Amino acid sequence: MNAFTTLLIRDMRLATRVGGGALMGALFFLIVVVMMPFAIGPDLALLARIGPAILWLGALLASLLALDRLFATDHEDGSLDLLMMGSLPLELSVATKAIAHWLTTGLPLVLIAPVLGLMLNVELHAMGWLALTLLAGTPALTFIGLIGAALSVALRRGGLLLAVLVLPLTVPVLIFGVAAANAAIVGPTPFGPPFTILCALSLMSFVVGPIAAAAALRHGLE
């Protein structure tokens, strides 16, 4: 087994064991979406119209929730020093950690979103499209958040700083994610353009995120 897979498996194991944050995001997502109809009231037409936006906003906040621990625990117990001394370039190690983080926190959000859509009166045929936009967009949230997690690694209670740093950068993802979901559900604008931009944002973050995060870690740990 090579360094990439062993790091991936280790991080996924850590997330799913006791003290890991795997289901925290999904639970937060569930709470936000379940409480929303109580706050807005039983207007089904209104719920259907703002449903995609609520789901996207919930997913955005939920995916930020566990991000601050991404490097902080490894920094506290000295693992990060050793990760930097491996033959795997730091950029790849960082990307691997992000993939493991997305698989354990982002993917569950995508999977439960169709079920939660029911509570917001999102049409059945639209659930698939909505989940598709989340599938394309949540990796971008993780990889952009990676930069913030790396920048705030050496700080105690860096979570707040992380949100301040990361949230503005995720606004484009939110805009095009909701636009694509709305286009698929209510129309009349076409689904293609916002969805391709969403995919482009994700692909861009795959490249920029690990490089920026690795640079931030190298500086931050000196």
Partner 1 sequence: MVVTGRNGAGKSSLLRVVAGLVRIAAGHLTLDGGEPDAPIAEQAHYLGHQDALKPSLTVSENLQFWTEFFGAGRHAVEAALNTVDLSPLAGLPAAYLSAGQRRRLSIARLVGVPRPIWLLDEPTSALDAPSQKRLAELMRDHLAGGGMIVAAAHGPIGLERARELKLGDA
Binding footprint of partner 1 on the chain (CB under 8 A): 1-3, 6-7, 10, 13-14, 17-20, 73, 76-79, 81-88, 218, 221-222
d(CA 95, CA 208): 10
| Of 8 and 103, CB closest to partner 1 | 8
| Of 73 and 121, CB closest to partner 1 | 73
Q: Are 104 and 169 in contact (CB under 8 A)?
A: no
| Of 80 and 179, CB closest to partner 1 | 80
Least Å distance, CB 103 to partner 1, is 17
Neighbours of 87 (CB within 10 A): 6
41: left (phi over 0), alpha (psi -120 to 50) or beta: left
d(CA 33, CA 58): 7
| Of 1 and 39, CB closest to partner 1 | 1
Least Å distance, CB 218 to partner 1, is 8
d(CA 40, CA 54): 11
Nearest Cα residue to 182 out of 51, 7, 58, 67? 51
Q: How many CA atoms lie within 13 A of 150 on its CB side?
A: 24
H, E, C per residue of 46-65 = HHHHHHHHHHHHHHHHHHHH
Least Å distance, CB 221 to partner 1, is 6
Least Å distance, CB 95 to partner 1, is 15
- Identity of the residue numbered 143: F
- Identity of the residue numbered 162: L
| Of 6 and 189, CB closest to partner 1 | 6
| Of 14 and 130, CB closest to partner 1 | 14
